[in-house]
Chain A
Amino acid sequence: MSKSSYGGGVIITTLIIAALLTLLPLPDYVRVFRPEFVGLTLIYWALAVPQRVGISFAWSIGLLMDVMLGGALGLLAFTYSLLVYLVLQFHLQLRQYPMWQQALSVFSLILLLQILFVFASSHSAGWTFWMPAIMSMLIWPLVYHLLRGVRRTFHVH
């Protein structure tokens, strides 16, 4: 019980690392391939410890990301809470899926996020629009195993 008390800290730390990966400067031709790191991390924690990651938590993280990335205030807050809501709703099914099927679900979740983002930002999107969702799908197994390792090491329940 005492060990799980710093579970919140572990979750926050992984999210901060994800935010750093999102902010890390990359050359223009690489940056369009950047996966949605914060979204992936939120999906994992909502899947693994649904009682700890709620919609309001996702909302606050999204708000901070909005400020960090300089977008419209509340846009990411909304999309992340929707993301976490969907994962919480279906987390029992998602857990049963084999890895490739989980990755496909992640693809559709991140795609939904992107669609909302493009709708709200009034910019036309080219082929690069698909890249974050596809890359997120491809690295999902890696993220999953990495974060599971973290969760088991630090006993986040």
Chain B
Amino acid sequence: MNYFSPVRNVLSVVVYPIQTLASLPSDTSEWMSDFFQSRKELKEKNAQLEAINLSNSIRLQSLQDLQRENMRLRELLGSSFRLPERVKVAEILAIDLDPFSQQVVIDKGEGYDVFIGQAVLDATGVMGQVVKVSKVSSHVILLTNPSHALPVQVNRNGVRAVVTGRGLGKTLQLEHVPHNADIRVGDLLVTSGLGGRFPVGYPVGRVVSVSSAQGQAFAHVLVEPAAKLSTSREVLLVLAAESFSTAEDTEVVGEQVNNE
């Protein structure tokens, strides 16, 4: 498999102009609609954004306080504390790939230190992860791809599960959930970070239906993805997180246990 990735890299650069060209019509129409926006619309939009900004900054103030408190408490518990991840912005090329593959192309590649397995978010939640990287672009596999799985936990009570895709435009589903698991409709699922690929605590989706049919080994749980998979244009690439200082922390925990 790896023998062919240089070939793919080179060919990706060859086809990149065609991909950019294909995304041109929707880029242009977007630019046009930006350009011909009326003053009134812009003012309305601005007022709206300011309101959102205000509420966000209020929340951010309390967040900083909470973060520090969280860190102190974690220190008291002797467990590892998380550093905030940093992100980088990339843009999705507006092109349709093969509908079976459910991937999108973004306009950042090796040149911007994009790497395979990097988590991709949008403003509202997790979108997927990078699967192929070339010099100038990379392919991102979406959550909805049936071959994509992502470790999550329920935000309410920390129940862990694995969420997999079911196809484009369909909801996600939770795999191997026992019938008695405490998962309810409306529960927010966040990344658990257990796979080591995704950062912890980003929203993945909300549970929309839980059904446990008799005779089935596991409960059937459907999840509506939080990210706007088909409409967002800007995505965030999470930088390689040094979020866990695992070796030291496990030692600390071990010592504490010994002391007790």
Within 8 A of B (CB), among A85-144: 117-118, 121-123, 128
> Are B18 and A70 touching (Cβ within 8 A)?
no
A150 at the A/B interface (Cβ < 8 Å)?
Answer: no
Q: Is the CB of B19 within 8 A of A70?
A: no
By the criterion CB–CB under 8 Å, are A25 and B12 in contact?
no
When distances are taken between beta carbons in the complex, the residues of chain B under 8 Å from A24 are 22, 25, 95-96
Chain A residues contacting B4 (CB-CB under 8 Å) are 73
Binds A, one of B36-44, B100-108, B149-157, B177-185: B100-108
Hey, what's the 0/1 contact readout for B143-171 against A, CB within 8 Å counting as 1? 00011000000000000000000011100
How many residues belonging to B are interface residues under a CB distance threshold of 8 Å? Answer: 32
Could you say which residues of chain A place their CB within 8 Å of the CB of B132?
Answer: 70
Q: Quick check: B99 and A31 within 8 Å, CB to CB?
A: yes
Residue B8 at the A interface, CB < 8 A? yes
| A22 CB, min distance to chain B CBs, angstroms | 8
Interface check B52, CB cutoff 8 A: no
- Could you tell me the distance in whole angstroms from the C-beta of A70 to the nearest C-beta in chain B? 5
Residues of B within 8 A of A34 (CB): 96
Residue of A19, A31, A122 near B18 (CB, 8 A) is A19
Shortest distance in angstroms between B99's beta carbon and chain A's nearest beta carbon? 6
Residues A123 and B100 in contact, CB atoms below 8 Å apart? yes
B95:A28 contact, CB within 8 angstroms: no
**B98/A28 in contact, CB under 8 A:** no
- Is B23 interfacial (CB-CB < 8 Å)? yes
- Is B100 touching A68 in the complex (CB atoms < 8 A)? no
User: In terms of DSSP, what is the predominant structure of the interface of chain B?
Assistant: mixed
Closest-by-CB residue of B relative to A75 is B98
Determine whether the beta carbon of A70 is less than 8 Å from that of B21: no
- In the assembled complex, the CB of A63 is this many whole angstroms from the nearest CB of chain B, namely 7
A-side residues, CB < 8 A to B, are 16, 19-20, 22-26, 28, 31-32, 34, 63-64, 67-71, 73, 117-118, 121-123, 128
Give Cα distance in the complex from A70 to B15, angstroms. 11
Interface: B89 (CB within 8 A): no
B51 interface hit (Cβ, 8 Å): no
**Minimal Cβ-Cβ distance residue in A for B141:** A70
Check if A31 sits within 8 Å of B96, measured CB to CB: yes
**Residues of chain A lying within 8 A (CB to CB) of residue B12:** 67
CB distance from A111 to the nearest CB of B (A): 16
Q: Which residues of B contact A71 (CB under 8 A)?
A: 98, 100-101
Contact yes or no, A67 B23, CB < 8 A: no
> Is there a chain A Cβ closer than 8 Å to B7's Cβ?
yes
- Take A20-B22, A23-B22 as given contacts and tell me if A69 and B169 are in contact as well, using a CB distance cutoff of 8 Å: no
